[in-house]
Chain A
């Protein structure tokens, strides 16, 4: 045979099977692009400056391997489908005298062509998107990035190497499939008459019961111990997974059978064909659809909870470290805080910083009195109105004996707030509050910040109380937050450098001590890790959803081939094209949107449980969680609709393309 023979045959094979090959190649391209992006981010210099870079790189590296394994699984599935649908073609080659070795060579060339196209296109797409991904990651973890497009040769090499291996594995898999089959079995299609599915009422009810039980646990379970809660959550998840499978496989057939019993419903043009073929379809596809449903649920839960983890932690981190540096000068008494010592200290501080080439930006300072009485339900923080106005840029006014309050969690509904004989009328609850700085304010939900106009007077009254320092305790602080123009590692140097200097400084001006903190020093490692996990969650979700969608597409395609003769018959008997279209639409809608719908229902019922679990992590940002869930849900739905349209068109063309010459 001539040298050009095999490549020619291979190229032809791909072209003629483009309906099957095209989605396969797209899937490969997406996977490769995703892999490149993940590995690009591991090596990129942009993130080397940020805090917790090691953690992120580690997370991304791990994610890369997960992606590689999933690529293998998904592509094996798709490849198996590909080979199955081409067995007839290969059987024909076999009968025409090509032995299995020759067919193997054709497959080899085909795989090579697909591999080269996919890897090249995947890399191009990956490189094109890597910048967006980088900007996304950087935004998530809050570093800075340039807009220059770069290519990481190391990432390119890794991608090519990994996916070459993946494709070789696919090739071996295809050849194994050809080797185990004979010419006749290759030729024969598996169109033997299929048994009608039997509805199993017990099993169907069992599935629904399991689902209901899982939902019930999720909604009602409330344990204070996080370990019990996790165990219960695990049981609920198991119940729902089992319930989903049994319901999809058995419950749906049962439903079809019940519908068929209702003669006035069943014998309607719009229901007759869909209901009866759905019974068959669900029997064959129940498990697959259940898997898709669970996959989508996992994606939804994964993204929304990692997002909450990330943004919740990020929020806390920024509450604790509103600026790069936080200095908290502790005064021995209110007089020091309210005297000129404070402004002298501030001037001196600026000089010191100036000397270190770290002139403050975005700075703000305020006075603060934290009053705590053992046995009280809540801590009170008092802040002078003038400081609040200066920091927030507002010009609120208050009369004597009036106050604004700001609550950090729990509502405070009284009209007044009082402390040891002093009382303020609450003008209103503020909606905004300055980020405080960690050392100065240990906030929890019960804390209330009280902004008062008569700060001096209050502090003086406070210290003159007989119980002061006996059963009433207070600390008097001046908190100063600022940014610099320094790079992160320089910030850490500065922090170590000025700590001692400033400590001396504050003694000099009559303060008792300094609590200082720097954002760099505080680490933010865990929050960088959550960022990495969230980012990976998004990447993996895209891959999962793409995989799920590909599986549905192939399923529909297989069924299209099988349904072709049936619709042909129906058309001969007098079914109009319009009726065929309607019937297809109603079937497709069910097959497509049933899993999505069920996934949404799962998520809805999982919501209370996830919420409680997040509380274990001290994260309770309900609106955020809800918002993220809705956005992700909508995104998946949109993607779904697009694929639905493409698939239903392909399917329709497949089944309505009736050869008229044949009757």
Chain B
């Protein structure tokens, strides 16, 4: 059984007075297996953000199903959604979304504190994660005192500490310089290597080619997908790049 199963997903936005309707997602179907690292690519307006919002249970689909770990997400009660999100999903955002009133450590603890875990357990969980991400020395600093790359690593730690079933990353390299980007992507691969499932939305081919599989979305459907397979990084980069050109020029599948 797949970890995540998305079938016939459709999302229609209507304007406030029910005038014109915008079809953000038409018919999305894909599966993510346990331990996979999947990138989703697409132009602005292709519906990737809508898709991610639905996967994150921040938005409800018009029709279709999202099944995580055998559980239909649309069946979860509104009151339980936040708890469900906290327990099963980890988030990494483009602009880090660290809270500036907390130290990095407290930022990372936040989801566990909300879940009411004792301090000892939180601390024990943090130690290995912090050493993997190389932020042990920064834990008592405030977000404004560290660099963008370090902030993003703290954000990754925050996503990992709940041991989520799935990590959702939204343009995680979008606000980083190239060196920090590379470091972060390497960390994602590392985390994935030890079994963490990751779903990442990105614009960056560089980011996408660290993934095991890339899904391309256009006009609300999955337009194409590529597997890294045995190809080298350069080859995979080339393949993704070609597909992006195809997407942009609008020709049919080649």
> A interface vs B, CB < 8 Å?
193-196, 263-264, 267-269, 272, 276-277, 279-280, 565-566, 569-579, 660-663
Contact = CB atoms under 8 A, between A and B. Distances in A.
Interface in B81-104: 82-83, 85-87, 89, 91, 93, 97-103
Interface string B56-95: 1011000000000000000000010011011101010100
B237 interface: no
Contacts of A660: 53, 58-59
A663 B52 contact: yes
B30 interface: no
Interface stretch (B108-116, B130-138, B215-223, B242-250): B108-116
Most chain A beta-carbon neighbours within 10 Å: one of B49, B59, B82: B82
Interface residues on B, range: 35 or more
Contacts of B182: none
A269 B113 contact: yes
A661 B53 contact: yes
B119 interface: yes
Given A195-B144, A574-B85, A578-B79, 9 more contacts: A194-B144, A268-B113, A569-B93, A573-B91, A573-B114, A574-B115, A576-B79, A577-B82, A662-B49
Contacts of A280: 101
B213 interface: no
A269 B119 CA distance: 12
A193 B113 contact: no
A264 B89 CA distance: 26
Given A269-B113, A574-B83, A569 B97 contact: yes
A141 to B, nearest CB: 54
A195 B82 CA distance: 30
Nearest to A263: B119
A662 B93 CA distance: 11
A579 B114 contact: yes
Nearest to B88: A574
B80 to A, nearest CB: 9
B82 A574 contact: yes
B36 interface: no
A196 B101 contact: yes
A272 B114 CA distance: 9
A118 to B, nearest CB: 33
A573 B86 contact: yes
A572 B97 contact: yes
A272 B158 CA distance: 16
Contact of A572 (B58, B98, B101): B58
Contact of B106 (A268, A276, A579): A276
B144 A269 contact: no
B139 interface: no
A661 B49 contact: yes
A573 to B, nearest CB: 5
Contacts of B142: 195-196
Contacts of B170: 663
B42 interface: no
B119 A267 contact: yes
A193 B143 contact: yes
